[in-house]
């Protein structure tokens, strides 16, 4: 049923019904993921109890667990899913390259080097990891942009500059890990990306970027559609191609940097969620962006639930779960379409 051919050959009316159907499914998946993430764990809490715990202030174990641990963690996961998926969807459009994701503009390697530096060089100052990772991510992105600038921005130059800069930064990370091999564990967990012990302060860091970035992304949807027609057509239609490209990349960089600085280098969401969404709703960004955001929420919250439960009481970083479950699913989508 979930077949692109069905999607692409239908008439306009069927198409909009199909898109609405997929968006509703994604919304239900997202809500289901959030509910499951709140309910499942060492202490199993029913949906009714969750609602009671959130909306009334009767003290008790449930309220403690929900309010202090699961709710903030789930919300951080949901927003991380939104940010990385939207960033990936935007970058794939701006770069006109299916492999573009937040890695490509240096966000991950920049955040990685800054974060790992703090963790191995100043392990007692962990509170600096998030702000440093954020600035590292933005610095790397800006640096790549400057390197790629030559009387204008060509996507191919950004991608090549991104690959080179990321390789450089990643080897610096490896060097740090070799020199401080006794402190590798924490850094390694962070580089895979995980939601363990994420709480309200982390939510405060991401939330503004999700709101502002989300609004800007939706406002940019039509521009992304025009950019996808190619630079010459876009210019002919009166779009300022250079300015749009820089502005949209900046939005993507900020969203990705805020997410990565809080949960570590969660790589998989930004690449594969937008692709999966595109296979199902098509490439019109007015639908693709909300679909990616909702699917991002579903993927991160469901994966994190699995990460907590699968090998309980040991918790595995959510990044590992996502790559293990998501990559085969993505390949499945790819193959059935051929």
Residues near other proteins (CB under 8 A) are 4, 7-9, 11-12, 15, 219, 222, 225-226, 228-230, 232-233, 235-240, 282-284
Q: Shortest Cβ distance from residue 281 to other proteins (Å)?
A: 9
**Quick count: other Cβ atoms within 10 Å of Cβ 113?**
26
Q: Which is nearer to other proteins, 8 or 48 (CB)?
A: 8
Cα–Cα distances in angstroms (integers) from residue 301 to residues 37, 155, 181, 288, 289, in the given order: 6, 32, 32, 20, 18
Q: Which is nearer to other proteins, 97 or 199 (CB)?
A: 97
Q: Which is nearer to other proteins, 204 or 337 (CB)?
A: 337
Q: Shortest Cβ distance from residue 236 to other proteins (Å)?
A: 3
179: part of which helix (H) or strand (E)? helix 155-179
Q: Shortest Cβ distance from residue 94 to other proteins (Å)?
A: 14
Q: Which is nearer to other proteins, 190 or 285 (CB)?
A: 285
Closest by CA to 301, choosing from 71, 27, 37, is 37
Q: Shortest Cβ distance from residue 285 to other proteins (Å)?
A: 10
Q: Which is nearer to other proteins, 114 or 226 (CB)?
A: 226
CA dist., res. 304 & res. 74, Å (int): 8
Q: Shortest Cβ distance from residue 96 to other proteins (Å)?
A: 10
**Quick count: other Cβ atoms within 10 Å of Cβ 14?**
12
Which residue has 């969660």 as its token pair?
266
Q: How far is CA 285 from the centre of its chain?
A: 17
Residues 107/253, Cβ–Cβ less than 8 Å: yes
Q: Shortest Cβ distance from residue 9 to other proteins (Å)?
A: 6
Q: Which is nearer to other proteins, 226 or 306 (CB)?
A: 226
Closest by CA to 86, choosing from 313, 257, 336, is 257
Residues 90/306, Cβ–Cβ less than 8 Å: no
User: Taking the chain, what is the end-to-end CA distance rounded to the nearest angstrom?
Assistant: 15
């Amino acid at each position: 049923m979930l077949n692109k051919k069905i999607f692409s050959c239908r008439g306009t009316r069927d198409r909009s019904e199909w898109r609405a159907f997929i968006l509703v499914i994604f919304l239900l998946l997202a809500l289901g993921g959030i509910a499951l993430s709140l309910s499942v764990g060492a202490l199993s809490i029913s949906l009714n109890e969750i609602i009671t715990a959130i909306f009334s202030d009767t003290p008790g174990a449930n309220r403690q667990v929900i309010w202090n641990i699961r709710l903030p963690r789930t919300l951080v996961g949901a927003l991380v899913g939104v940010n990385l998926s939207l960033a990936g969807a935007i970058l794939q459009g701006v770069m006109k390259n299916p492999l573009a994701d937040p890695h490509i503009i240096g966000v991950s390697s920049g955040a990685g080097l800054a974060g790992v530096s703090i963790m191995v060089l100043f392990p007692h100052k962990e509170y600096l990891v998030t702000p440093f990772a954020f600035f590292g991510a933005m610095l790397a992105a800006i640096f790549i942009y400057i390197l790629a600038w030559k009387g204008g921005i060509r996507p191919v130059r950004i991608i090549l500059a991104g690959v080179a800069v990321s390789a450089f930064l990643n080897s610096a990370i490896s060097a740090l890990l070799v020199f401080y091999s006794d402190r590798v564990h924490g850094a390694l967990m962070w580089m895979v990306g995980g939601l363990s012990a994420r709480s309200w302060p982390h939510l405060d860091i991401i939330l503004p970027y999700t709101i502002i970035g989300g609004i800007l992304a939706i406002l940019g949807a039509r521009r992304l559609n025009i950019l996808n027609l190619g630079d010459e057509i876009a210019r002919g239609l009166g779009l300022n191609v250079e300015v749009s490209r820089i502005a949209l990349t900046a939005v993507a960089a900020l969203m990705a940097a805020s997410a990565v600085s809080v949960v570590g280098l969660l790589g998989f969401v930004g690449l594969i969620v937008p692709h999966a969404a595109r296979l199902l709703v098509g490439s019109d960004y007015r639908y693709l962006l909300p679909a990616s955001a909702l699917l991002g929420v579903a993927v991160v919250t469901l994966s994190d639930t699995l990460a907590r439960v699968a090998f309980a009481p040991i918790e595995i970083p959510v990044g590992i779960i996502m790559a293990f479950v998501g990559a085969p699913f993505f390949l499945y989508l790819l193959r059935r379409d051929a």
